[in-house]
Structure 1
Amino acid sequence: MSENTNKKIVLIDGHSILNRAFFGLPDLTNSEGLHTNAIYGFLTIMFKILDEEKPDYLTVAFDVHAPTFRHKMYDAYKGTRKPMADELRQQVPVIKEVLCSMGIKTIECAGLEADDLLGTLSRQCEEEGMEVSVISGDRDLLQLATQHVKIRIPKTKQGRTEVEDYYAADVKERYQVTPKEFIDLKALMGDTADNIPGVPSIGEKTATKIITEYHSIENAYEHVSELKPPRASKALAEHWDMAVMSKTLATIEVHADFPYELSEAKLGNIFTEEAYAFFQKLQFKNLLSKFDVTAPANQVEDGFEQIIDYKKAEKVLDQAKESTCVGAVIFQNTENVLPLFANEAAIGGIGLCFDEEHAYCIEVTEQITKEFLLEKLSKLNESCGRFVMFDIKEAMKWLPIKNQKHCFDATVAAYLLNPLKNDYTYEDVAREQLNIVIEEKSEAYVKVCYEAYTAFKGSDLLYKKLEETQMLHLFEDIEMPLVFTLYDMERNGIRAEGEALKVYSSQLGGRISELEKEIYEMAGESFNINSPKQLGVILFEKLLLPGSKKTKSGYSTAASVLDKLAPDYPIVSKVLEYRQLTKLKSTYADGLVNYIEEDGRIHSKFNQTITATGRISSTEPNLQNIPVRVELGRLIRKVFVPEDGYIFVDADYSQIELRVLAHCSGDANLIEAYREEKDIHRITASQVFHIPFEEVTPLQRRNAKAVNFGIVYGISSFGLSEDLSIGRKEAAKYIEDYFKTYPGIKTFLDDTVAHAKEMGYVVTLFGRRRPVPELSSSNFMQRSFGERVAMNAPIQGTAADIMKIAMIGVNRRLKEQNLKSRLVLQVHDELLIEAYRPELPEVEKILREEMEQAASLDVPLEIDMHTGENWYEAK
């Protein structure tokens, strides 16, 4: 009896599982731009299998790029096979390196496919008395199933992995044929996914019937005249050569000759230090918990020091006074604090680094008070040359910043250099800029020292890269001053009337109840309006509305589907209104009450490192997304009111993105239209539709407006036809005529896309770069999206930069003139000021000057300005 009897081996089809993971998971990239979704999905599937199987041996088989006999046969029949997507191809060598770092055996052999390697190994291991599990997304491997060889086929759906298991009996039950007969089944029915052509006109049902009766294609061919139905008989007779080739293509070699030592596949500890470093680099943070290792020690840690002695703390702080650069951290003591109250945790101390050899974590004690540390840190900000922190705006909750010009926010700098990421932590900067991987299990004081060290050491590298990318001006003159403007806005907050919100919520509830009754009457029965499945049945099965789109889970009731039906079917328009109002009630009318603080104001967070285009976003709560399309939605602005003795002033840029487009494109017609201060949409309608200016109808103006704004977003003829409910040809003609009217715009957009394809990014007027990796995608839809991004990002990004300059200028003027008035809100192209009534003329003057002079364009920047006793009136 073999010594391997009753042992278990897992064999993985490398390329197949990578391919499944690649198409089953959304695209992921690490900070270096490497696509990682296939690697992550592969590892997730592998860990799931290992947890379930607990094997003694493991081997992963890969295809070799050199063509095999079967490849050549298929190519001779149908030309070259579809190439692997570039985003997947770059992940293949990386997964091999990762597996090697985990001590996992991998095999590949020129002239043999991975299927042949797996087939041969599964036979050999079964003969050794082993239990075998073969993991593949390729159903061809079902032919290998026996009583001791199990074929496992994973499926990745919405990030979750499900696995189908097949022994020989399972194959028979599922397909009505034995594993060996499964080869003949594939020969007849074919499989496009596996490049097996099959026999024309013979589908799965007919192929199954033939093989269950005759057991092989050869036997079926001997009785070809007897086959039913007649078309199958004719097809096999005429295409017998194709059936034979298909069987050859489908047959896996189980006696291949290649070197393999089973002992090398013995499974040991796969969670090695080397693998841990790989997982860090790939940014698979949620897989790191599987490791019980200590990351390789970084030499810099030798200079890290924890300080709890007052005299030592004072000495270190004095040494830092004259430094040219200080990296600083304020950390909270979150011990025994529930996550819900983490923001209210007490300050635990500070971190400092002001040379390359040392970093300090100075902790709050009875002698070293919080007040002492914050005062010293504030003075350091005044005295040092460069004061570096991650997320300075957050630190300003505790730390008075005396000298804004000395400040360097490493989070903002990292964001400018790569605006496509989700976060910009000190760990990311340490890894990307300093090549340091920080151990997640490090002691708390070590992490504080690392953050201070990374701020100090990384700032030089970030500064140089900002210079190299010509974004230093953007950083120093726009983004850094904006940090302090946003802090002021967050601290100011906006007053909201809680009781008014409750009344508003009640109003919404009443209208929602009315809509429910009306919808039920029109439907002829009660149902769950919030259930897409039930709604789909009512609309498309019971009421037989046109335009249904059936999905696996039922009929699509997405807004894009219902919007087309709403004008002609009252029940649909009421459903859409119901959806809007229920969201309005839950998110705003009921939700906003929870954000009103003791001072009666809502202090939303304004984020400058979230959007790729440079736009500011608002969270906790999002005050930039308050609905304005329906009147009942707009009414919510009435609950936002100024303090007694104050009035709201709202200033909104007029068509800023179109004006930026006019400037960037240099189109003479568009520039002239703006300089003459004419109705731009009426002018466009007049010129595009070739009718006198005075004869343009409201509908024609509306259509021209849709084209004007659509062009900014790279709209297609399909998109425009959807927006205007017109045919694709008519929409295409609109766009064609638009570009004839404004030829400079077409040239500008084409040149912008060409530049993005060549350089990999687009640039705003103020130097902000927006990478467009989608342009190099192998996927057509992704590339098309990339082209739209390339057209829009310079326009939207420039508009965002102009708004930021205006915000900074307005806030600075209000403070310099010691006015009581304050900037409280920014929503896209709109600024809201809570103006002290006696200061109203001065506030309006400041708004007009700072907003209209924020940038010097070939066309004038104009604003619409209104005042009101609440935000609704001011808007």
Structure 2
Amino acid sequence: MSRLVLIDGSSYLYRAFHALPPLTAPDGTPTGALFGIVNMLRATLKENPDFAAFVVDASGPTFRDEMYPDYKANRPPMPDDLRAQVEPMMQIVEALGFPILRVPGVEADDVIGTLAVQAHAEGIPVTISTSDKDFAQLVRPGVTLTNTMTGSVTDEARVQEKFGVRPDQIIDLLALMGDTVDNVPGIEKCGPKTAAKWLGLYDSLDGVIAHAADIGGKIGDNLRAALGRLPLNRDLVTIKTDVALDLGPRELKLRGRDIDALRELYTRYGFGAALRELEGGKADPATRPAQATLAAASRASADGEAAPDPALAEKGEYECITDARALEAWVARLAKADLVAFDTETDSLDPMRANLVGLSFAVESGKACYIPVGHDYPGVPAQLPREQVLDALRPVLEDAGIAKLGQHGKYDLHVLRRHGVDVHGYAQDTMLESFVCNAGGLRHDMDTLARKYLGYETIKYEQVAGKGAKQILFSAVALDDATGYAAEDADVTLRLHGVLSEQLAAEPGLQRVYRDIEMPLVPVLTRMEATGVLVDAEELRRQSADLSQRMMAAQKRAHEIAGRAFNLDSPKQLGALLFDELKLPVVVKTPGGAPSTNEEALEAIADQHELPRLVLEYRGLAKLRNTYTDKLPAMINPDTGRVHTSYHQAGAATGRLSSNDPNLQNIPIRTADGRRIRTAFIAPRGRRIVACDYSQIELRIMAHLSGDQGLLRAFESGQDVHKATAAEVFEVALEEVSGDQRRAAKAINFGLMYGMSAWGLARQLGIGRGEAQDYIALYFSRYPGVRDYMERVRQQARDQGYVETVFGRRLQLNEIHSRNQAQRAGAERAAINAPMQGTAADIIKRAMVTVDQWLDGHRDQAAMLMQVHDELVFEVEAGFVDTLVAEVRKRMAAAADLKVALVVDVGVGENWDEAH
């Protein structure tokens, strides 16, 4: 189920300012509050919310000032040191991709309250990130408060425990107590305990007022003296929940992070941890570690494990190799070693363009060397020629009998390949060891792992290369500094392997996942990335031009219909035109009750007027052009003429591969214009694109895991599984299944795998919630094994804290025992879905390995280009297509032995769209 996080930015800004020490950036700018905000936002992003917003107060008076001129009159002006941090805060929030909401005339509390109530009404769980007690009035099932600075979560039970009243009594509690922060005068001498006592006796403020004469003593006199202002108090402390907003909960999607902007901001303000987290995995030349320091060996790791072995945190002895005799001695050591840890230093993060600057090696803990080959600053000592070094190392690096170890070594394999060294025997990778040990527990970059497992703080790049505009390339770093920095990488990687390999050895199931799935996949992905895919830039430019022309035509026609020019991208202007001037019916409203102009709203009235259809057309064209056709040509490597995506093995906790630059998983497929983009992914002359796609793989895995006989029969029949399911659920003959019945069965089949509720099914099918609940109940009555599996796996998650895939991949569920009902429910949904998604990920990875092994004898005839969801895409000689299809289909189908057969759909064409 989707989740909305609403961040009370104004509250956190003040809270962080007063709670944290007066930190400053390198240039003296105050950063204490900013530091707290950044850490809070990073923590929020790690929770992967579906929707989120950062809400702050707008400048100027609000409606409460009109109601009560002295409202907040006693608040001092914002301190200068805090004011200086507001704009940087907004820049970072924007760069992180959070929607920012600032609505004049109301407070941030009212915007949050409106969105929370609207999201709750739509069945979306809401987390309000705040330290303000006033928000307790919004707490209800599915709406909780969280304080990321303290880690506390407030649900209904916690409200009762903390305040002594129910959430629906919080407004009345505040009205009685008053609020000194906002200058709302309460009843003299009436504190929270007295107010809670009265509400316990009389239930509400109105009840307290009605029984004011019954309350004796001085406090009773004080109550009666304040009766006239209590209704105003209540109005002032009540969070408004009907603010007219341009955006609703489902429109508050996080944008992609602006990495360049964040890098610049984090560097400017000295946020080292955030900078390291930003880069992740392979260390960035602008953020990698740089001067070895001893960590306190006695400290425990952050997650409460025992402290690392003190010996692992000791500084190593590192040697810089600049003469042939020393190089020869190290090559001899490497040739005799059982395991060689290695790393490369370059001048770019793009392995397809990076130039080799140096190499580092380690074969025993605490001792390593650095071999510079590309440092070029004035006065640099003599270095061995790069080709001489590579020629000396090639026999070791290309010997499959000498095991190699790296940290995110796929990058290094690319760099060495491009410099004429094809590394064989790449056997261990500490990033992948960590990922398999605990996929969702922590980041898997070297800095984080060294700190956690070794108690070792790695060197920071800025200490050897400088910061900001003065930062230099690694090729300009002095050899002494470069040696301490680079050799440490190899040394720390070797030390980490010693710890992580022992953890894997203690878990045979995890060790098999690492040994049989993840490590064999590294060279496969390396080959795919190096091969890339041919993209027709001219075709994309033609598409961009066509999309632009059609956008202009749609805009021109819209202006003609309106009788004037207006901004098609402005919801306010569009709403005024559609509903005020044209008097079209308002079918969908924003959370604040205003007419909506979102896609759903426009589609609902598109059959009544041409203008909504034109706006929908315009928006669809703009998205395709801005996201794909304009950007893909810029990603073509000028040396190869191809697009080279990067695959990430240690990203999704389920084991699913992801990719970036470009993100292949997001290439459109559902619309004609979207599919047209795939026509630009082409085969060269004489070759074809072949796409092999698993059919309904997760549903087949559900049948296997649940063992439900009815679902197994539905697949074994070889017929349309959704139609077969509909026949079972609705108890009709197969040939009598209606389109609506099949659609309902399909929605349930897939929805249950993702924890869909009756509300979600009702929304998807356009039926009542009761009818949807009846569908689900009927489904479970026909497929009791599915219901039993879902309950069984939930219980397993509660008992063990994790679930597993068919192949033993472990998926940790850290929130399965959370006191937060929404978090706990999310973990339970993940418990059901993760084994299916994870098993699907394992299956296609296994298939990729076996297919690549077969391709080893046919590299000149075919290449595996892409992996997208459950699909493998190949480039194949025209005369070899039939052979490849037969062999790939056989190997993909045999990648798992399930209770139902794996079915592979195949398409062939001149481009990806034709083959899909």
Q: TM-score, normalised by structure 2?
A: 0.66
SS in structure 2 of the partner of residue 428 of structure 1? helix
SS in structure 2 of the partner of residue 855 of structure 1? coil
Which segment drifts farther, 804-813 or 433-442? Answer: 433-442
Q: 2:413 aligns with which of 382, 396, 399?
A: 396
Give the structure 2 partner of residue 500 of structure 1: 539
Matches within 5 A, 1:773-812: 773-812=814-853
Cα distance, 1:810–1:837 mapped onto 2, change above 3 Å:
same
Matches within 5 A, 1:241-252: none
Give the structure 2 partner of residue 372 of structure 1: 388
Cα deviations across residues 747-779 of structure 1 (Å, max 9, x unaligned)?
Answer: 111111211122222211111122222323332
Give the structure 2 partner of residue 479 of structure 1: 518
Matches within 5 A, 1:420-569: 420=440, 423-440=443-460, 441=463, 443-469=481-507, 470-517=509-556, 519-520=558-559, 526-535=565-574, 543=584, 545-551=586-592
Alpha-carbon distance in structure 1 between the residues aligned to 2:851 and 2:319: 44
SS in structure 1 of the partner of residue 908 of structure 2? strand
Cα deviations across residues 31-79 of structure 1 (Å, max 9, x unaligned)?
Answer: 9xxxxxxxxxxxxxxxx9795599xxxxxxxxxxxxxxxxxxxxxxx9x
Cα deviations across residues 129-156 of structure 1 (Å, max 9, x unaligned)?
Answer: xxxxxxxx9998975xxxxxxxxx7xxx
Give the structure 2 partner of residue 269 of structure 1: none
Cα deviations across residues 200-226 of structure 1 (Å, max 9, x unaligned)?
Answer: 4479xx9xxxxxxxxx987766768xx
Give the structure 2 partner of residue 770 of structure 1: 811
* Matched AA of 2:889: R
Give the structure 1 partner of residue 362 of structure 2: 353
SS in structure 2 of the partner of residue 648 of structure 1? strand
Alpha-carbon distance in structure 2 between the residues aligned to 1:438 and 1:568: 64
Give the structure 1 partner of residue 251 of structure 2: none
Give the structure 2 partner of residue 578 of structure 1: 618
Alpha-carbon distance in structure 2 between the residues aligned to 1:327 and 1:138: 66
Q: Tell me how far 1:837 sits from its aligned partner.
A: 1.4
Alpha-carbon distance in structure 1 between the residues aligned to 2:534 and 2:42: 41
* Matched AA of 2:484: V
Alpha-carbon distance in structure 1 between the residues aligned to 2:274 and 2:39: 22
SS in structure 2 of the partner of residue 530 of structure 1? coil
Native 8 Å contact 1:490 1:604 kept in 2: yes
Alpha-carbon distance in structure 2 between the residues aligned to 1:814 and 1:343: 23
Alpha-carbon distance in structure 1 between the residues aligned to 2:199 and 2:292: 46
User: Residue 416 in 1 paired to residue 455 in 2?
Assistant: no
User: Residue 872 in 1 paired to residue 913 in 2?
Assistant: yes
Cα deviations across residues 307-364 of structure 1 (Å, max 9, x unaligned)?
Answer: 3333223212222211112211111257xxxx9x897453221111111231212212
Give the structure 1 partner of residue 404 of structure 2: 387
Cα distance, 1:785–1:306 mapped onto 2, change above 3 Å:
same
Cα deviations across residues 408-442 of structure 1 (Å, max 9, x unaligned)?
Answer: 12222222223236852221221122121224236
**Where do 5+ consecutive residues of structure 2 fail to align?**
1-15, 21-31, 47-77, 85-136, 153-161, 163-173, 210-217, 235-270, 280-285, 296-311, 375-381, 465-480
* Matched AA of 2:445: T
Cα deviations across residues 600-633 of structure 1 (Å, max 9, x unaligned)?
Answer: 3222222222222111112111222111121121
Alpha-carbon distance in structure 1 between the residues aligned to 2:897 and 2:813: 27
Q: Tell me how far 1:377 sits from its aligned partner.
A: 4.1
Give the structure 2 partner of residue 617 of structure 1: 658
User: Residue 715 in 1 paired to residue 745 in 2?
Assistant: no
Q: Tell me how far 1:821 sits from its aligned partner.
A: 1.1
Cα deviations across residues 647-694 of structure 1 (Å, max 9, x unaligned)?
Answer: 122211111111111111111111122122121111111111222111
Query: Aligned-residue CA RMSD in angstroms?
Result: 4.8
Cα distance, 1:430–1:511 mapped onto 2, change above 3 Å:
same
Q: Tell me how far 1:537 sits from its aligned partner.
A: 5.2
Cα distance, 1:395–1:189 mapped onto 2, change above 3 Å:
same
Cα distance, 1:387–1:868 mapped onto 2, change above 3 Å:
same
Native 8 Å contact 2:847 2:891 kept in 1: yes
Alpha-carbon distance in structure 2 between the residues aligned to 1:835 and 1:343: 23
Cα distance, 1:854–1:138 mapped onto 2, change above 3 Å:
farther
Give the structure 1 partner of residue 129 of structure 2: none
Cα distance, 1:549–1:805 mapped onto 2, change above 3 Å:
same
Which segment drifts farther, 410-419 or 718-727? Answer: 410-419
SS in structure 2 of the partner of residue 368 of structure 1? coil
Cα distance, 1:374–1:767 mapped onto 2, change above 3 Å:
farther
Native 8 Å contact 2:796 2:802 kept in 1: yes
User: Residue 852 in 1 paired to residue 866 in 2?
Assistant: no
Q: Tell me how far 1:91 sits from its aligned partner.
A: 4.7
Give the structure 1 partner of residue 681 of structure 2: 640
Alpha-carbon distance in structure 2 between the residues aligned to 1:644 and 1:293: 52
Q: Tell me how far 1:532 sits from its aligned partner.
A: 4.3
Which segment drifts farther, 369-378 or 800-809? Answer: 369-378
SS in structure 2 of the partner of residue 511 of structure 1? helix
Q: Tell me how far 1:444 sits from its aligned partner.
A: 3.4
Q: Tell me how far 1:717 sits from its aligned partner.
A: 1.0
User: Residue 759 in 1 paired to residue 759 in 2?
Assistant: no
Cα distance, 1:223–1:457 mapped onto 2, change above 3 Å:
closer
Q: Tell me how far 1:460 sits from its aligned partner.
A: 2.4
* Matched AA of 1:492: T
Alpha-carbon distance in structure 2 between the residues aligned to 1:13 and 1:601: 52
Q: Tell me how far 1:711 sits from its aligned partner.
A: 1.5
Give the structure 1 partner of residue 328 of structure 2: 314
Question: Number of matched residues?
Answer: 685
Give the structure 2 partner of residue 244 of structure 1: none
Which segment drifts farther, 405-414 or 607-616? Answer: 405-414
Give the structure 1 partner of residue 338 of structure 2: 324
Cα deviations across residues 439-461 of structure 1 (Å, max 9, x unaligned)?
Answer: 42364322212210122121122
SS in structure 1 of the partner of residue 865 of structure 2? strand
* Matched AA of 2:501: Y
Native 8 Å contact 1:328 1:353 kept in 2: yes
Alpha-carbon distance in structure 2 between the residues aligned to 1:293 and 1:451: 11
Q: Tell me how far 1:646 sits from its aligned partner.
A: 0.7
Q: Tell me how far 1:565 sits from its aligned partner.
A: 6.7
Give the structure 1 partner of residue 319 of structure 2: 305
* Matched AA of 2:912: W
* Matched AA of 1:601: R
**Where do 5+ consecutive residues of structure 1 fail to align?**
1-9, 32-47, 55-77, 94-112, 114-136, 144-152, 154-170, 176-180, 207-215, 237-277
Give the structure 2 partner of residue 73 of structure 1: none
Alpha-carbon distance in structure 2 between the residues aligned to 1:24 and 1:391: 26
SS in structure 2 of the partner of residue 816 of structure 1? coil
Give the structure 2 partner of residue 150 of structure 1: none
SS in structure 2 of the partner of residue 775 of structure 1? coil
* Matched AA of 1:329: D
Q: 1:670 aligns with which of 711, 735, 738?
A: 711
Q: Tell me how far 1:592 sits from its aligned partner.
A: 0.9
Q: Tell me how far 1:558 sits from its aligned partner.
A: 5.4
* Matched AA of 2:636: I
Native 8 Å contact 2:547 2:625 kept in 1: yes
Native 8 Å contact 2:342 2:490 kept in 1: yes
Q: Tell me how far 1:828 sits from its aligned partner.
A: 0.9
User: Residue 362 in 1 paired to residue 382 in 2?
Assistant: no
- Percent identity among equivalent residues? 31
Alpha-carbon distance in structure 2 between the residues aligned to 1:458 and 1:408: 11
Q: Tell me how far 1:520 sits from its aligned partner.
A: 4.9
Native 8 Å contact 2:587 2:601 kept in 1: no
